[in-house]
Amino acid sequence: MFRRSKQHAIAAPLAPIRVGYYAPLELSYLHAGDHGHPVVMLHGWGAFKELWWPTLRGLGRDYRCFALDLPGHGDSALGRAATLVALAQTVADFCDAFGLKPMTLMGHSMGGAVAAELALLRPDLVSHLVLVDAAVDAYRMPFYARTYMLPTFGWALLRVSQALGRAARPLSTQVPHEHGGGWLRPWLRRNAYLSIFEPEGLHRLYRSLFATRTGARLAHLSMPTLVISGQFDSLVPTAHSRRIARLIAGARYAEIPGALHNPMDERPVAFEQVVRSFLPQRDSFRALYRSEAFSAS
């Protein structure tokens, strides 16, 4: 079944992407695909919904896909969502409002930590979980991941990083969303976005990320879970991702060859193939919805 679905996806035209804004939660989002099992994608700290652009267009051929600007990023206001739990609740409210249940929840880096919190908070919403280079238990990540938290220089380093990003924006903004992958051009594009976000909100979320302890609570996750790591990720090393996979009963682990910390951006084709091999296929998600409708009645 997977081989047939994969061949169909390669032959089918890429799904168009639409931009949306949900005013009650002040959330900006991208949407691709009008039919099929819903897939919700959460970016990481300092990132943006367009990071998922190739994945949206690819999976949108067979799935109903949403990529959110998390509060404090892109066109989404931070509001009161300044902790990982508050971010998770905001995403849950969005999914409730759009009827995205049951869904596959996919989170990258900090978005992976938010996805784990949401799956623990609202397991009724999540049928499948995908954690991509997830910064779950970020306090266990390498020391240099905490650079912006240094007591004397952390805040200044964040502001300097943003200033350098703004200086490079004339070049960075020339990189299209469909850049074909690689390391340099995706990195330039990501820096262009980080440079324009409100720094105080970013710093509050950064502190919450490293203060959150998930640990043994991961054992309470019972939905099918896929943990993905970039082969050369130094920020969330493969050992960190493997530990997360071991803590979740039955979780699968996959590595994207040649990828760093952003495999959906650096190796988009390989990333989509790995995710497709895990997502429920048509017969499977029809059964999911029949089961959900039966339990609701």
Nearest to 136 by CA among 172, 110, 99: 110
In degrees and rounded to multiples of 5, residue 250 shows phi and psi of 75, 5
Report field, pTM of the whole predicted structure over 0.75 = yes
CB 105 within 8 A of CB 68: no
Prior bond to 102 cis, omega within 30? Answer: yes
Contacts of 183 (CB under 8 A, 6+ apart): 260, 266
Q: Looking at the chain, which runs of residues are DSSP E strands?
A: 18-22, 27-32, 38-42, 64-68, 103-108, 126-132, 225-230, 252-256
- Position of tokens 């970013």? 202
What residues does each domain of the chain span? 2-296
C-beta atoms surrounding 46 within 10 Å: 23
Q: pLDDT in tens for each of the 297 residues of the chain?
A: 334 444 444 567 999 999 999 999 999 999 999 999 999 999 999 999 999 999 999 999 999 999 999 999 999 999 888 899 999 999 999 999 999 999 999 999 999 999 999 999 999 999 999 999 999 999 999 999 999 998 888 999 999 999 998 998 998 889 999 999 999 999 989 988 888 899 999 999 999 999 999 999 999 999 999 999 999 999 999 999 999 999 999 999 999 999 999 999 999 999 999 999 999 986 555 555 555 543 443
CB 109 within 8 A of CB 44: yes
Handedness of CA 279, 283, 284, 289 (dihedral sign): positive
- Position of tokens 């049951």? 102
Q: 84-98 vs 199-211: helix axis angle to the nearest 10?
A: 100
C-beta atoms surrounding 258 within 10 Å: 15
Span 2-296: which CATH code?
A: 3.40.50.1820
